[in-house]
Chain A
Amino acid sequence: MQFALLIFESPEAFAARNADDNDPYLGAWRAYYKTLVEAGIYVGGNPLQPPETGTTVQLKDGKRRVQDGPFADTKEQLGGFTILELPSLDAALDWAARCPAASIGAVEVRPVSPEYKRRVTGLNERR
């Protein structure tokens, strides 16, 4: 069975990404990542850019509603995530609008952060 850990962070935790390599929070993430890999249970994962970079797409009566900012949840709850390789935000918004959840809930588009992942894992992955 695979499980997804959905990670929620405070503004302070997001801000810690701009700190130097000795930041304790970043250090804790490195140690945690190492433990997951060593335990042989790590499948994959990605840090996301901060919430301000998010854009939310909803389909209302077939019309696309695009809003600046992360999805402010009401009764809808996070139901999953998909990672796509695309050239631009506009392409991502197109695919988000086609997602079935866009017409009954909302889909937030947020870039992943390869830079922060590199700092945690120490690996230089090619995109």
Chain B
Amino acid sequence: MSGSEQESAHRTIERVARESYGRLLAYLSSHTRDVGSAEDALSVALVAALETWPRDGVPQNPEGWLLTTARRSVIDLVRHRRVAEASEPTLVLLREESKDMTLSPEFPDERLKLLFVCAHPAIDPAMHTPLMLQTVLGLDAARIAHAFLISPTTMGQRLVRAKTKIRDAGIRFEIPQERELPQRLDAVLEAIYAAFGIGWDDMAGVDQRGRDLARRRSGWHECFCC
């Protein structure tokens, strides 16, 4: 493959990673209720893309390719952990759905459910915004820590703890019932508002990270238009 084709493969990976990260992660984790495993699986899929796409060419449906690869990896990860009994329904579900996604371009957008999970009242309110930034927009812990003025290690630990709680406490990926919706929606909107604020505050400086946060704000917009 020529150098320019390789470059174009890299550009495609970068674009797909930026534009589809949240959708892919939301879809993967809505089945397993395990955001951490879904993140790991998506990383594995992105690394695999970096290895194979420049060599074999970009697949016709890049998102579907990543989803299929990540799903296989989720099954491996879940199986690896000794939660055999608890994760049995997950494995069955994943196996049932293991049809090849590389051909069908459509998969449901579960990002709104993921936002409600991130802003669930059982999650420390201080972590609502960082969780959204990481899971829906795909920012890394170091970048989020910078925006919240705490050390990357501390932010990393808090994010892991929050994701463990999501997995182990039995928080469902669903839109809340009507009577709870106003209150639950307020929490989501508050966290999104904070994320916006961080993006704009940093815009004033010369910091590339802040600009990146602001640039990704269009991701929120998409979530609510689905």
Q: Which residues of A are at the interface with B, using a C-beta cutoff of 8 A?
A: 49-50, 52-55, 66-69, 87-90, 92-93, 111, 114-115, 118, 124, 127
5 new A-B contacts, CB < 8 A, other than A53-B168, A89-B169, A127-B85, are A55-B122, A66-B121, A67-B121, A88-B174, A114-B85
Residues A53 and B171 in contact in the complex (CB < 8 Å), given A68-B122, A114-B85: no
A69 CA to B110 CA, complexed, in Å: 27
Mostly, the A contact residues are: mixed
Q: Are A55 and B82 in contact (CB under 8 A)?
A: no
A122 CA to B180 CA, complexed, in Å: 41
Residues of B within 8 A of A90 (CB): 171-172, 174, 176-177, 180
Q: Which residue of A lies closest to B171 (CB)?
A: A89
A66 CA to B169 CA, complexed, in Å: 14
Q: Are A111 and B83 in contact (CB under 8 A)?
A: no
Does B170 sit at the interface, judged by CB under 8 A? yes
Q: Are B169 and A53 in contact (CB under 8 A)?
A: yes
Q: Which residues of B are at the interface with A, using a C-beta cutoff of 8 A?
A: 82-86, 120-125, 161, 164-165, 168-172, 174, 176-177, 180
Residues A115 and B83 in contact in the complex (CB < 8 Å), given A55-B122, A68-B122: yes
Residues of A within 8 A of B83 (CB): 115
Q: Are A92 and B170 in contact (CB under 8 A)?
A: yes
Cβ of A94 to closest chain B Cβ, rounded Å:
9
Residues A53 and B172 in contact in the complex (CB < 8 Å), given A115-B86, A118-B85: no
Q: Which residue of B lies closest to A127 (CB)?
A: B85
A22 CA to B114 CA, complexed, in Å: 39
Residues of B within 8 A of A53 (CB): 164-165, 168-169
Q: Are A49 and B85 in contact (CB under 8 A)?
A: no
Which of A52, A54, A69, A114 makes the CB contact (< 8 A) with B86?
Answer: A114
Which of A111, A114, A124 makes the CB contact (< 8 A) with B169?
Answer: A111
A55 CA to B182 CA, complexed, in Å: 21
Residues of A within 8 A of B164 (CB): 52-53
A124 CA to B80 CA, complexed, in Å: 19
A55 CA to B84 CA, complexed, in Å: 25
Q: Which residue of A lies closest to B33 (CB)?
A: A88
Residues of B within 8 A of A127 (CB): 85
A103 CA to B176 CA, complexed, in Å: 23
Residues A115 and B176 in contact in the complex (CB < 8 Å), given A66-B121, A89-B171: no
A127 CA to B170 CA, complexed, in Å: 15
Cβ of A88 to closest chain B Cβ, rounded Å:
4
Q: Which residue of B lies closest to A90 (CB)?
A: B172
Cβ of B82 to closest chain A Cβ, rounded Å:
7
Residues of A within 8 A of B86 (CB): 114-115
A69 CA to B121 CA, complexed, in Å: 11
